[in-house]
Structures are given as structure tokens and as C-alpha cells.
Structure 1
Amino acid sequence: MTTHMPTLVSLRAFEAVARHKSFRKAADEICVTHAAVSHQVKALETSIGVKLLERTSRSVELTPAGEQYYPPVREHIQGIIKATRRIQTPEEPDVLLVQSYASFNTMWLQPRLADFLQDNPDTRVRIVSTFEDGDYDMHRFDVGVFNAPPFDKRFDYSPLFETDIYPVCAPEALNAPSGGMPLEELGNYLLLSVPSTWNEPDDWDCWLDAAGLDRETMKFGSVFDNYPLVREAVLNNHGISVARAPFCARDLERGRLVRPFDISVPEPGRWYLATQKERAPNPKLDTFIDWLFEQIEADPTMRLFRA
């Protein structure tokens, strides 16, 4: 039996829609119109004779067939994209590739990196940011820091740290001059969030449960793809979000953000350091990892843990 191969353009459109669960966001990403994306997905479904997406006026969901089809399509589409990027901009030799989430890189690592580079002038570091768990590119990866359970057999994982979470808001959001807020007033504010990953409990659910508040009485606002985005919304007084202690410490110290409540809870997940199993000895990488552990141990908002 001859299998009719769908076009790469239609597969690219499907992968983007399935990942974003939005035709509009997919169209923005691949720089075409909403109608063009819709046409390509429809052409794909017609080509393979299977319905992949359920479309409503407000959402896009994968059908059971789409759930089965999406992971291998995503793997290969993203592999093509990454391979193309690598040959367009080949990596420089002797540069450490440090990969983590945009939140860890911009809110914690970057402010400290200058000290490491000053003490190690012969070492060059390139920071690679990802926004999703498991989005590892092993060709752009000497060491990674991820808030996800060890799952990828290509990598060795070491326990790194755990931390606490708590709500933060802009100072303008508080009515009381004391800087606090009665718990019962939280229901008057929009609660902003980032989706939970790896089946971990939602940040707000964890905190509201500890505070003895009913989720059903809360008003939830926008959901953001990552913590740097939700941070900007909070800084602009668009609502209140839950923050990880290491990533908001500088904003709290400078008065850009405030904590309306004293209640904090452990973050649902833990953080791991990942390195490739098959790698050549690299003293510069070992030095960087030692420095990273030293920085974490010195940070009062983080706790080293052992598996």
C-alpha cells in the first residue's frame, strides 16, 4: 500500500496550531494569515483522511487521532527547525552552552554570570533559553537547569534545588499603607498564571489551599506562556501572580514588586541539573557546575536537596 505523504507546509501548520492550541498564534509564528493556516490544516486532514482538530469558537483541541499524530510530527518539525538554525549559525568551539527556561536565565542566572566570567576570563558562555519542559536540543546543550522530573535517557540528572512560591503584585495594587492585604480581599483582583507542567499541581491551587481560600471565589485573568511575560503584566499592575522566590527577589528588594501576604508554600516541582551522558571531559564545564552549586547554596531563597 502506498502512503500519500502530506506536504511539509501543512504539517508545519498543524504542529504550530496543536502546540499553541490557537490558529491565530500559529499564524503569527509562521508569518501567514489565519485563513492560510486553517486551509493548510484542512488540506492535511483531507490528505490523510483523518480529523485531527476539534474547532470551536473559543478553543482548538486535538482529537484522539490528533493526540496520536502530534508528538512525532512535533519531534520531526522541531528537529528540522533546529537543524536549520545550526547550519545557518554554527556553534563556536570552546563555548559552554547553558540551557534553561527564560525565567531562570533572565531572572536569576544572568545577573550573576558577570562575576563568573570575570573570575574565569578564558571561559565563554552562551545562554540558550527554552520555554517548555523537554524542549532539549542536545546540540545546543552542555549543561541544563530544568524544573522537570528526570525523563530523558540521553542525560544524567543531578538534584539541584527547591524553593518556595507566593503571590506578588505591584505596589500600586495595595490600598493599605502598611503594604499588606487582608486575605478576603484577594477575590477582588485578577489572578494571573502560567500553565503547570508535568502534571504538577497548579501554583495558585497550591497557594490557595495553604491560605484556606476557595478557588471558586477567585477571579482568574490571563494565562501566560512563561514567567518573564507574567512578571511584566504584574509590574504594569494588571493583576497578581504567584512567583518563585529566586526569580522575584531583586524586584522585591528594589520595591518594584511587593508581597501582599506572608504565606508561602513549597514549589510543586524541583529543579535538576542535566548533562549529556556521552560527553568528553571538560574542565571548564566542571568549573561552571561547581560555581552554579556555590551560587545556589549562597542564595537564601533556594534549598539544595538530595534525591
Structure 2
Amino acid sequence: MLKHWPPLNTLRGFEAAARLGSFHKAAEELHLTQSAISQQIRSLESFLEQPLFFRSGRSVSLTDAGHDLYSTTQSMLLQLSVGIRRLEQYRKPNQLVVNTTPAFARHWLLPRLKDFHRQCPDVDLWLFTSFDAPDMATQTIDLTIRDDLGPQVECSYQELFNDRFYPACHPDLLGVPAEQRTTLHGEREMDWSHWVVQGGDDVGQRSNGLNFSDPGLLLDAACAGNGVALVSQLLAANARSNGLLTPLSERSIPGPSWVCLIHRDSEKSSLTRRFSGWLQASLMDIDEAGVRAG
């Protein structure tokens, strides 16, 4: 990288002159004098030690080096402009930053966001998903909802839902012999070893099959009829109500607890309280759906 960069104003002047093909028009656009633009271009050419424009009277055209730099400069200035505009989102007065897992966001929260927005249309929700739990002390997050959380400093800790897991598949697979169904394998509690160790029924699951590290993709695969999976009661609630999943057993086994961490600085915010209240009320609607505890 260059140890010294040309002043940004010289690059702005160069980009405008190159785009408009005129020092005079560039000066008008940037509200400068033509002599100021000419000086900026000379300064930039001196810095780069090569000409960027051919000059013929009042007419100018780009050299090969000028064409190359124009492409780079235009891309850089556009990216910088977009980056500066993006900063506006950090000072929105009604913004609420919520973190969760991609699976929870896609399978539980997204289908219900319309209801939240209907109840709280003034809340500017920013949904930030991540596979790993955030550090609430160092990241700009108001609250996080996850099944892989422990207490953190400067945060209130609240258990929301004790999840359970059960085997399920798409209804179209019910007529397929159990030994011919593909077994879908997940990680953590969605691994079939948990089902077997805790006394779950034999539903034809096998050790081979398709494997998923993302519980959301595992659920997507089950809903698409790719095989049988051990699914989360919470995450699968929407798919089950839409007829995309059917339980293969009346039993279920304990899963993780879904927890909400609220940053201390956001705890008394009316936005946080409204979202938290809506969240708890919505979770209460998730019932056992006929799955008996194992």
C-alpha cells in the first residue's frame, strides 16, 4: 500500500472531470473554480508522476493511465458514499437491534414479524443473525434470543421456552417403508444419539444419511421431504401447522432452553419492553401439539 495517499478532494475533482470530460463542468458540479480543478488535477498528476489527461485548448481527454484510475476512483467513491449513507442507521431514534440464530429467525421469527410490525409499527427492528452467541458487552445489541446462551455481564437473563425434540417427516413420506426413508442428521440435540439414549422409539432411523450443521437447513430438508429428522418443537411449529411435518412418534425428549439476554442499557427502553412482551406472548402460543414427553 502507498505510504501517502493523495488528498481525497483531488480524487473527487479528477473523477468529476473524467466523467464529464471537462474541467469547467467539473468545477460547476463541485462548486469550485475551474482553476481550482486544474490545480487539483496537476497536483494528482504530480503525485502519480504521470499525466492523466490530454489537453488540447479547452478540451481534455483521458490518457490510458487516466482511464485506469477513473475506473478505480469511481468504484472507490461509490463504495465510500454507500458506506457513509449506511451510518444513518446507527442514529435512528426507534431502532431495536435483535440478535438470534439464523434458524430461529427463519423458522420462528420471520413468519411472525408481520404481527409484530402490525402491533408496533413505529419500532425500527434490525434483525442481526449469527451462528455464534454475541458478546453483549462489546457489540451494539439490545437483546438476543438463542438456545446457546449463558448469563453475561451487564445483561438480564430470562428463560423463555424449554424446547423438546421429536422425530418427524413430510406427510408424503408416511407411505414409504421406514427402512427406505433417508435419515437426516443434525448436531447437538438434533443428533439421533440423544433420541436413542433417552429411550425414543425406533422410527427407522439409520446411522448413515444426510448431515447438517445448520438446524435451519435440517428443518428445511425435512419439510422438503428429503427424509426423517429429529426436529425442535419450537422451530418446527410453523411448518407443522402448515402441514409440512408430521410426527413419527408420540414421544419427545428434552431440548435446550431458549433464553433472552437484554443489555442493561436497553432494559428500561420502551422499545425493548414492547418487543419482549410480544415475544413472550407469542411463545405462549406454542403448545405441545400432541407430542407426549418421553
Q: Can you give the 5+ residue segments of structure 1 that lack an aligned partner in the other structure?
A: 1-84, 303-307
CA offsets, 1:213-250, max 9 Å, x none? 599x8233232231221123223332211111122222
Is contact 1:98–1:142 with CA below 8 Å preserved after alignment?
A: yes
SS of equivalent residue, structure 2 residue 234: helix
Q: Cα 1:189–1:138, aligned 2, differ >3 Å: closer, same or farther?
A: farther
Corresponding residue number in structure 2 for 1:168: 168
How do 1:98-117 residues align onto structure 2 when only pairs under 5 Å count?
Answer: 98-117=98-117
Q: Cα 1:137–1:127, aligned 2, differ >3 Å: closer, same or farther?
A: farther
Q: Cα 1:190–1:97, aligned 2, differ >3 Å: closer, same or farther?
A: same
CA offsets, 1:127-161, max 9 Å, x none? 11112345769534111101124143353321111
Q: Give the drift of 1:257.
A: 1.9
**Separation in structure 2 between the aligned mates of residue 279 and residue 266 of structure 1, nearest angstrom:** 32
Bigger radius of gyration: 2
Is contact 1:95–1:124 with CA below 8 Å preserved after alignment?
A: yes
How do 1:282-297 residues align onto structure 2 when only pairs under 5 Å count?
Answer: 282-297=269-284
Is contact 2:165–2:190 with CA below 8 Å preserved after alignment?
A: no
How do 1:57-136 residues align onto structure 2 when only pairs under 5 Å count?
Answer: 89-90=86-87, 91-92=89-90, 93=92, 94-134=94-134
Corresponding residue number in structure 1 for 2:234: 246
Residue 213 of structure 2, aligned match among 225, 232, 249: 225
Compute the RMSD of aligned alpha carbons. 3.1
Q: Cα 1:88–1:193, aligned 2, differ >3 Å: closer, same or farther?
A: farther
Q: Cα 1:137–1:257, aligned 2, differ >3 Å: closer, same or farther?
A: farther
Is contact 1:164–1:265 with CA below 8 Å preserved after alignment?
A: yes
**Separation in structure 1 between the aligned mates of residue 100 and residue 229 of structure 2, nearest angstrom:** 21
Corresponding residue number in structure 2 for 1:275: 262
Is contact 1:164–1:266 with CA below 8 Å preserved after alignment?
A: yes
**Separation in structure 2 between the aligned mates of residue 205 and residue 152 of structure 1, nearest angstrom:** 30
**Separation in structure 2 between the aligned mates of residue 296 and residue 108 of structure 1, nearest angstrom:** 10
Which deviates more, 98-107 or 126-135? 126-135
Identity across the alignment (%): 21
Is contact 1:246–1:301 with CA below 8 Å preserved after alignment?
A: no
Q: Which amino acid aligns with 2:282?
A: Q
**Separation in structure 1 between the aligned mates of residue 288 and residue 138 of structure 2, nearest angstrom:** 30
**Separation in structure 2 between the aligned mates of residue 214 and residue 233 of structure 1, nearest angstrom:** 18
Is contact 2:145–2:260 with CA below 8 Å preserved after alignment?
A: yes
Q: Give the drift of 1:211.
A: 1.9
Q: Can you give the 5+ residue segments of structure 2 that lack an aligned partner in the other structure?
A: 1-81, 290-294
Is contact 1:97–1:126 with CA below 8 Å preserved after alignment?
A: yes
